[in-house]
Structure 1
Amino acid sequence: MATLRRTLHRPPSPPTPSAILKIGAVALRTDPALGLTGRHATSEVLHQVGFDFTYPTLDEALTDLFG
């Protein structure tokens, strides 16, 4: 979210309390750890076949979208 706010020139916002996030995760039937710790995922298959991302970082992709 910080990257998106920075790209859109929005002020920082206070963090969501973990209790509220856990309640929302139950309502959405998902793991609250996804919102509390985050996940980093990369595709080894795309790398193995030689795929190159036009915008390899979120900053670059958002800058292209929102300029």
Structure 2
Amino acid sequence: MDDQAPDVESLLTPAEVAAMFRVDPKTVTRWADSGKLTPLRTLGGHRRYRESEVRRLLDQQVIPGPRKPSE
């Protein structure tokens, strides 16, 4: 039997989001402060981000993503 509820969405830390976009975690915090990402707060006050929202932004390139090498 699986203990995890099927409707639980994965949450990412600022460092995990930063790694996906290849930016500094402070940049992710600035995106959240400017409204580009919606942070959730843990009981300890730490920011977490919905994986689905982050992947959608990455796919849409709403936020500058990783740069492609120059050819």
| Normalised-by-shorter TM-score class | under 0.3
Normalized per residue, the structure richer in helix is 1
Normalized per residue, the structure richer in strand is 2
What's the TM-score, normalizing by structure 2?
0.22
Where relative contact order (Cα < 8 A, 6+ residues apart) is larger, the structure is: 1
What's the TM-score, normalizing by structure 1?
0.22
- Larger Rg: 1 or 2? 1
